[in-house]
Amino acid sequence: MSYHCLLATTFGLLLLSNGAVGSQQQIPAMFVFGDSLVDDGNNNFLSSIAKSNYYPYGIDFSQGPTGRFCNGKTVIDALCDLLGLPYLPPYISPVLNETRLLSGVNYASAAGGILDESGQFLGERFSLSQQVLNFQNNLNQLRSMIGGGRNFSQYLARSIAVMVFGSNDYLNNYLLPSLYISSYNYTPEQYANLLINHYTRQILALYTVGLRKFLLAGVGPLGCIPNQRASGLAPADRCVDQVNQIVGFFNKGLRSLVQQMNSNHPGAIFVYGNTYGAMGDILNNPATYGFTTVDRGCCGLGRNQGQVTCLPFAVPCIERNQYVFWDAFHPTQAVNLILAQRAYTGSPSDVYPVNVQQLAQL
C-alpha cells in the first residue's frame, strides 16, 4: 500500500471513529487565526516589534519562551489539552512538517487585526486576510496527504477553526487617534460594523474551502487591561468604561453575525465565545477564582505595570497564579486555563449556541 493510500485509509478510520485516537483526540485538527492572545511563535520569524520569544515570557511553559505572549499556556494550548490535540505548530515554523500539519496549524500573529492597517506601525504581521491566504497555502499539502474527495472534505468539516480578532483594531487603530483617523471617520457603532463586514468576508472564504465548525471569540473588556488603566482616563481603581462600551458594539455585532451565519449555512455551525462576559466575571469576582491582583501586570513597568510591557529578563511577580494579567495586554496562564474550560464546557452565556465539547461531537 502506498504512503498516500495508507494515510487516506488511516484518516477514513479516524473520521469513522468520530476522530478519537486512543479515545483522546476528539477532532482531526484545529486551525487558529488571531492576534497576540493566541500567537504561538509566528512573529518570531517576522520583522516586528511585537515579539515575546524571550524570558520571562514562557517562564511557566514546558518549552520556555516560544513567542507566546504569556507566562505559560495560551487559551489555545489549554483547548488542545482538552481536545486531545498536540500543541499546534506556528505557520512559519521551521519544524512544520507534514505529520505535524495534520493536527492543525496556528496562523495567529501579534499585532494582526481584522483590518490590514491595524498594528502596521509595529512592523510585519499577518492580518486576518493574510492568515486566510496562509491557510489556503496549506490546503494542497493537506489534500495530497489525506487524499481528495470525501476523506478530505470530512477532515475539514470535522476540524474546528478558532478565530480571535478585534483587539488590535481597537488598541492599535481606533483608540490611537495620533496615528489613525478611524475614530474621526467612524462612530463606535459604524466602526464595529466595518470590522464585522470585513470579518464576514474572510470567514466566508474559509467556509468556501470546506471548514464547517467555527469558534469566534469576542473581544474582552479592553478598558480593564493594565495598558488602558495606565492611560489615566479613569480613576486609579476603575476600568476605562468608555473603551469597554466601544468594544461592546463589536461583540454585539459578532454575536448577531453568529446567529445570521447559522441561519444561512445549515451545514455549518458557528459559535460565539463570550470573552467579555467570562473576563468580566473573573475581574468582578477575583477571589472566587483565587486571584488577588486584577489591576496591574505581573511583568511590566510604569503605572499599573502597564505603560511598558514585559522587557527581556525583567523580573516578574512571584505569585503568577494570583494575577489576572501577565503583562500590559495579556492574561496569565491561570486565566487562560479558566477561559478554555469555560469555552469547552460552558453554558450558552459563555459559548453560544453550543460549547466546544459539543461542537467537537457534532
Q: Is 330 assigned a catalytic role?
A: yes
- Report whether 101 contacts 142 (CB < 8 A): yes
Mean pLDDT of the chain: 93
- Judge whether residue 5 has pLDDT over 60: no
What are 315-327's pLDDT values in tens digits?
A: 999 999 999 999 9
Q: Which residue has the higher pLDDT, 234 or 88?
A: 88
Q: Contact at 8 Å (CB) between 69 and 51?
A: no
Q: How far apart are CA 221 and CA 326, in angstroms?
A: 15
Quote the cell numbers at residue 256.
448577531
Q: Of these residues, 35, 36, 109, 350, which one is catalytic? A: 36
- CA 163 – CA 214 distance, rounded (Å): 8
Q: What is the 3-state secondary structure (H, E, C) of 218-268?
A: CCCCHHHCHHHHCCCCCCCCCCCHHHHHHHHHHHHHHHHHHHHHHHHCCCC
pLDDT of residue 93: 86
At 3, is the pLDDT very low, low, confident or very high (cuts 50, 70, 90)?
Answer: very low
- 281 a catalytic residue: no
Q: How far is CA 328 from CA 32, 68, 227, 334, in A?
A: 23, 14, 5, 16
Residue 324 has which C-alpha cell?
489576572
Instruction: Name the residue type at position 349.
Output: S
For the segment 25-76, what is each residue's pLDDT rounded down to a tens digit?
A: 999 999 999 999 999 999 999 999 999 999 999 999 999 999 999 999 999 9
Three-state secondary-structure class, residue 54: coil
Range from 63-67, 99-103, 157-161, 291-295 carrying the lowest mean pLDDT: 99-103
Q: Is the pLDDT of residue 21 over 80?
A: no
CB 191 within 8 A of CB 181: no
Residues above pLDDT 70, as percent of the chain:
94
- Taking a C-beta distance cutoff of 8 angstroms, is the pair 244, 222 a contact? yes
pTM of the model: 0.93
Give pLDDT tens digits for 148-175.
889 999 999 999 999 999 999 999 999 9
- Spatial CA neighbour of 87 closest among 39, 48, 23, 142: 39
Mean pLDDT of 140-150: 89
Q: Is the pLDDT of residue 359 over 80?
A: yes
What pLDDT shows up at residue 120? Answer: 97
pLDDT of residue 58: 98
Q: What is the pLDDT of residue 197?
A: 98
| pLDDT classification of 18: cutoffs 50, 70, 90 | very low
Q: At 153, which helix (H) or strand (E)?
A: helix 149-158
Closest CA to 327 of 137, 94, 56, 115: 56
All cell numbers assigned to 98: 507534514
Residue tagged active-site, from 77, 169, 327, 350:
327
257-275 pLDDT, tens digit per residue, is 999 999 999 999 999 999 9
What is the rounded CA–CA span in Å between residue 244 and residue 252? 12
Query: Would you call 327 a catalytic residue per the annotation?
Result: yes
Annotated catalytic residue within 39, 159, 169, 330: 330
Give the separation between CA 2 and CA 148, rounded to whole angstroms. 15
pLDDT higher than threshold 90 for residue 304: yes
